[in-house]
Amino acid sequence: DADEVIDKKDGVEKRRGSTTAISVTSMTPEISYFKTLSLLVERIMGDCKVSHLTGRFPDLVVSDGDFPGMLRAWLGSIPII
């Protein structure tokens, strides 16, 4: 649980959270416009569904620069690295 305080030193709380990794289908230049749009919607909705079902919401998105991951982070005002 991200709210669990594991250490409090000098008035600074350190927190421990969980990592979630989701395997996704790649979007490549060869796929059609319709398939690209379909995958984009599927990936964004899938990420939202995972957060909703688990009650866990990301504090940070680690991305390789793929558009759906970056768009989802941007829409949720989540920092991206």
Q: What's residue 23's pLDDT?
A: 73
Distance separating alpha carbons of residues 19 and 48, to the nearest angstrom: 15
Q: What's residue 54's pLDDT?
A: 82
Q: What's residue 53's pLDDT?
A: 86
Q: Residues 75-79: contacts with CB within 8 Å, 24+ apart?
A: 75/44
Is the full-model pTM beyond 0.75? no
- Contact 33/17 with Cβ under 8 angstroms? no
pLDDT digits (tens, 9 = 90+) for 10-65: 666 666 667 777 777 777 888 899 998 998 888 888 877 888 888 878 888 888 88
